[in-house]
Amino acid sequence: MSGLTPTELDEFRQRGFLVKRGLYADADLQPLRVAITAALDAECDLLIAQGAMTEAEACCDAPFETRFGRVVHGLDTDSPAQRRILASMQDLFLTGRVEHAADSVAVADALLACIRQETVLDCVTSVIGEDIIGSSTFRIRGKIPLWESGRDQPYFPGEVPWHQDAGYMLAHCDAHLIVTCWVPLVDATVGNGCMHVYPWRFDQGVLPHYFGRRDRYIWIPDDHLPDTNPVPVEMRAGDVLFLTNMTPHATFDNVSDTTRWSMDLRYGPMSIPNNVDEAPESYTESRRPDSMACAPTEADFVIRDSAHPERDVVDGEVFTEIRMRYARQYVNPGRGWTHIRDR
């Protein structure tokens, strides 16, 4: 049976999270792993050609699970080569703000295939209906072993503190249920930084977030977290964790020797405020926030429009073009969270 069963749907509604095992087969994820590896190869080749890195430091023979962490840890801390590798690999989801050494369409193609995976879309359809907008705030993350948390750069490798995805979106979007699918590309364990969640219904709403961390993440301080126990969610590669935009979640330091690769994908109903077909220039400082897309600095795209299937984005090149249109769109009024020192 495709999609969520009534029991699963009920569980998702009551707890705000649900794990579906094996929605992606290994062969579904492999093209993305290959594209990530090719992107890392290209960055290393460029740095080797510039004399900023040695062949040995590129760790070409290391397996996918360990290579990225070994490359980063093998380079001098905060050296230009280490910063470059981190910045480019952090931007695998393509903001257009980093010039990649590799052809980025390869990653876009593989990622789009994962976003459009039928088994996943069927489950998303069970929650929000069959007409679906892809929110561009999807990410590919490599959480590196033993990365010092809270460094100045907002790099993904360290911990991602407690937050709700709604905390990052504009406030008028709180009324809309947006589904996050968190998918590990390698097995995710407590040791390598799996997801932790608090059971929390969508209608329980947004908790106070603060800013002021060196790594620039916003977060929910401990005394505002739900009065229950968080749940560590260990998963195999290809399992999918479904969350709502209100589910508090976090990931902590990776104390293993593998890099915890994952992707987080976001799906909204067609009724969600979005920027499909909007010119990025229409985002000006004077525009009313409640007329904006939920995440205004990144381009949304149509995943499924049953009345107009020609609008569906199915091609990696088109997908990349849509993303790139928003590469210089920085206007985001935010939601006015408080700095931690003013608490």
Q: Where does this chain bind ligand AKG (CB under 6 A)?
A: 141, 143, 160, 165, 180, 182, 249, 251, 262, 264
57 vs 159, which CB is nearer to ligand AKG?
159
Q: Who's near 1: CB < 8 A, 6+ residues apart?
A: none
| Least CB distance to ligand AKG at residue 260 (A) | 7
- Residue with the two structure tokens 């360290």: 158
| Least CB distance to ligand AKG at residue 178 (A) | 11
Distance of CA 295 to the CA centre of its chain: 13
The rounded distance, in Å, linking the Cα atoms of 239 and 243 is 13
| Least CB distance to ligand AKG at residue 185 (A) | 11
The rounded distance, in Å, linking the Cα atoms of 57 and 54 is 5
44 vs 185, which CB is nearer to ligand AKG?
185
Residue nearest to ligand AKG (CB): 264
- Residue with the two structure tokens 């897309």: 293
| Least CB distance to ligand AKG at residue 343 (A) | 22
| Least CB distance to ligand AKG at residue 80 (A) | 26
182 vs 200, which CB is nearer to ligand AKG?
182
* DSSP 8-state secondary structure symbol assigned to residue 147: P
| Least CB distance to ligand AKG at residue 333 (A) | 21
182 vs 283, which CB is nearer to ligand AKG?
182
Q: Who's near 47: CB < 8 A, 6+ residues apart?
A: 53, 81, 84, 85
| Nearest C-alpha neighbor of 72 from the set 190, 157, 189 | 157
182 vs 202, which CB is nearer to ligand AKG?
182
Q: Who's near 103: CB < 8 A, 6+ residues apart?
A: none
107 vs 160, which CB is nearer to ligand AKG?
160
| Least CB distance to ligand AKG at residue 14 (A) | 21
The rounded distance, in Å, linking the Cα atoms of 104 and 87 is 14
The rounded distance, in Å, linking the Cα atoms of 296 and 332 is 6
* DSSP 8-state secondary structure symbol assigned to residue 311: G
199 vs 280, which CB is nearer to ligand AKG?
199
